[in-house]
């Protein structure tokens, strides 16, 4: 199964994968029913989660029902337990970059948010836009989600500046990235253009850097107030395992 998933991820373009998953997901959820692992996004349980990864594959990380990964389930729990995102009676303007399927329909149905999605390629995007040159006015959005996007962007400084520009004062942004916390400094090398080399060095064929611990300070240099939220430390070890979370993963919670 690992080899099949690796082949599919590395050969089929992401927009097509998104469409195919709509058909495949119900079948996978039915075949893998059980009680060992639970997806907190929809509450469904399974005997196993699916493997995932463009290079080295991780076991039990992809939920058969929502197709969520560790980071998605962690973010859902954080929003649910630590914020008023789902419960606020004050309608908030939300901008979501490269919207994840596990969130898209659920956020769309929320009556307490004015929800806009954006991306250059995603079929789920309301607005096709370049993150380095956004077509939105200054101080427009109360909340911005931009998760696992910046590692794809050559000029991530410009992208961060645009995120800061369109976020309202006192607004919240969550900008998750794949991060190697054993690295003090972010590593990038523009001369690496071969997709196999990129996958080997950066973790995915279309990544252009590996972020280190300095990521948070880079966000601060743009102007954000950044909280490094180690949310798995606030969850029992039993639930970390049951929800298939990545222990120690940091959620960058940013305010303007």
Smallest CA-to-CA distance from 102 within 81, 74, 129 is with: 74
**What is the per-residue DSSP string for 129-184?**
-BTTB--S-TT-EEEEE--S-GGG-S-HHHHHHHHHHHEEEEEEEE----B-TT-S
Residue 204: DSSP 8-state:
S
Crossing angle for the helix pair 101-109 and 70-82, to the nearest 10 degrees: 30
From first to last of its 256 residues, the chain has per-residue pLDDT tens of 545 555 544 555 555 555 555 566 666 766 778 889 999 999 999 998 888 876 677 888 989 899 899 999 999 999 999 999 999 999 999 999 999 989 999 999 999 999 999 999 888 899 999 999 999 999 999 999 999 999 999 999 999 999 999 999 999 999 999 999 999 999 998 888 888 888 888 888 889 999 999 999 999 999 999 999 999 999 999 999 999 999 999 999 999 9
Is pTM beyond 0.85? Reply is: yes
- Pair 65, 101: CB distance under 8 Å: no
């Amino acid at each position: 199964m690992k080899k099949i998933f690796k082949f599919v991820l590395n050969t089929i373009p992401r927009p097509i994968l998104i469409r195919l998953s709509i058909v495949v997901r119900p079948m996978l959820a039915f075949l893998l029913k059980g009680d060992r692992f639970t997806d907190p996004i929809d509450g469904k349980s399974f005997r196993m989660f699916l493997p995932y990864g463009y290079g080295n594959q991780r076991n039990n990380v992809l939920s058969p029902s929502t197709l969520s990964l560790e980071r998605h389930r962690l973010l859902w729990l954080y929003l649910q337990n630590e914020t008023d995102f789902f419960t606020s009676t004050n309608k908030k303007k939300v901008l979501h970059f490269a919207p994840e399927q596990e969130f898209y329909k659920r956020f769309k149905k929320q009556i307490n948010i004015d929800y806009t999605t954006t991306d250059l390629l995603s079929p789920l995007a309301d607005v096709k836009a370049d993150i380095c040159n956004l077509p939105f006015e200054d101080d427009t959005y109360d909340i911005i989600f931009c998760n696992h996007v910046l590692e794809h962007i050559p000029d991530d400084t410009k992208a961060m500046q645009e995120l800061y520009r369109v976020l309202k004062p006192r607004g919240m942004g969550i900008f998750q990235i794949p991060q190697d916390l054993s690295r003090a400094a972010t590593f990038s090398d523009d001369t690496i253009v071969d997709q196999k080399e990129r996958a080997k060095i950066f973790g995915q064929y279309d990544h252009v850097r590996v972020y280190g611990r300095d990521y948070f300070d880079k966000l601060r240099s743009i102007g954000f107030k950044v909280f490094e939220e180690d949310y798995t430390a606030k969850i029992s070890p039993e639930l970390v395992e049951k929800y298939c979370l990545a222990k120690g993963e940091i959620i960058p919670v940013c305010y303007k």
